């Protein structure tokens, strides 16, 4: 039993990190090219330059790998949003910006669009990954008297599902992208804003997202 090397990490641990990262990267690429369903484990393994069976040393199932991919996408988006909203004053506006950005990204970024089927998995990942930020914002805006969201966790969960559902409807052409502002307004209503304030808040100009 090795007790780590000079750097606190042996060759094995290093290789395992490489493999795990390569697998998630390959899976992200292929899944966002062809959709999560159409991506095969064999193709992912090949692109990650790893044996087909090796995937199962890292992920119990294809679904678990897909979840890891989603968590990566959401982490990236969360970082971008943080970078912008850091300097906002109004926590209500932080929240509004967040959900609008998720909506725009989910419908605009091809890396998201292809994953929108399996909404329940995505909505759950969204709930878990962005939850800490969203719930904090909901509470702060509530404390500031802007929202009425005692059960912030519940509100956030409902919002996640509605948001992903709306994104899917837009990518499938059942809903016009022009509705985005109204979608956000309705979701703000759910956080305890009256329709007029919600519409105003959803309509405010937004700074652009940084990066890609």
Partner DNA sequence: ATCAAAGTTGACGATCATTCATTTTTAGAA
Partner DNA sequence: TTCTAAAAATGAATGATCGTCAACTTTGAT
Tokens coding 176: 């016009």
Contact track, DNA, 14-43, x by CB under 7 A: -xx--x------------------xxxxx-
Instruction: Return d(Cα 111, Cα 126) in angstroms, integer.
Output: 15
Say which residues have a Cβ less than 8 Å from residue 188's Cβ, sequence separation at least 6.
Answer: 92, 95, 96, 99, 197, 198, 201, 202
CB of 111 to DNA, least distance (A): 19
Say which residues have a Cβ less than 8 Å from residue 74's Cβ, sequence separation at least 6.
Answer: 125, 126, 129, 130
Longest dimension (CA), the chain: 65
Q: Is position 157 an interface residue for DNA (rule: CB under 7 A)?
A: no
Q: Which stretch binds a second copy (CB under 8 A): 38-46, 103-111, 115-123, 204-212?
A: 115-123
- Which class for 153: exposed (0-12), middle (13-18), buried (19 or more C-beta within 10 A)? middle
Contact track, a second copy, 144-183, x by CB under 8 A: ----x--x--xx-xxxxxx-xxx-xx-----x---x--xx
Contact 47, 26 (CB under 8 A): yes
Q: Toward a second copy, which CB reaches closer, 9 or 200? A: 200
Instruction: Give the total of residues touching DNA (CB under 7 A).
Output: 27
Q: Which of 62, 100, 118, 146 binds a second copy (CB under 8 A)?
A: 118
Q: ∠ at Cα 42 (19, 106), nearest 5°? A: 75
Residue numbers of the site for a second copy (CB under 8 A)?
A: 117-120, 123, 148, 151, 154-155, 157-162, 164-166, 168-169, 175, 179, 182-183, 186-187, 189-190, 192, 194-195
Residue numbers of the site for DNA (CB under 7 A)?
A: 1-5, 10-12, 15-16, 19, 38-42, 50-54, 56-58, 61-63
């Amino acid at each position: 039993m090795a007790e780590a090397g000079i750097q606190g990490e042996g060759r094995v641990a290093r290789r395992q990190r490489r493999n795990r990262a390569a697998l998630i990267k390959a899976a992200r690429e292929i899944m966002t090219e062809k959709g999560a369903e159409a991506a095969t484990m064999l193709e992912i393994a090949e692109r990650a330059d790893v044996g087909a069976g090796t995937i199962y040393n890292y992920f119990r199932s294809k679904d678990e790998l897909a979840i890891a991919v989603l968590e990566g996408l959401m982490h990236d988006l969360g970082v971008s949003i943080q970078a912008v909203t850091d300097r906002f004053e109004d926590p209500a506006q932080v929240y509004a910006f967040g959900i609008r950005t998720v909506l725009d990204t989910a419908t605009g970024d091809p890396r998201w669009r292809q994953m929108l089927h399996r909404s329940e998995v995505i909505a759950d990942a969204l709930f878990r990954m962005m939850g800490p930020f969203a719930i904090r914002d909901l509470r702060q805006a509530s404390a500031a008297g802007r929202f009425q969201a005692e059960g912030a966790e519940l509100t956030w969960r409902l919002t996640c599902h509605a948001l992903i559902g709306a994104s899917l409807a837009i990518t499938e052409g059942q809903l016009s992208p022009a509705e985005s502002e109204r979608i956000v307004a309705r979701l703000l209503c759910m956080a305890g804003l009256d329709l007029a304030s919600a519409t105003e808040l959803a309509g405010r100009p937004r700074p652009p997202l940084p990066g890609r």
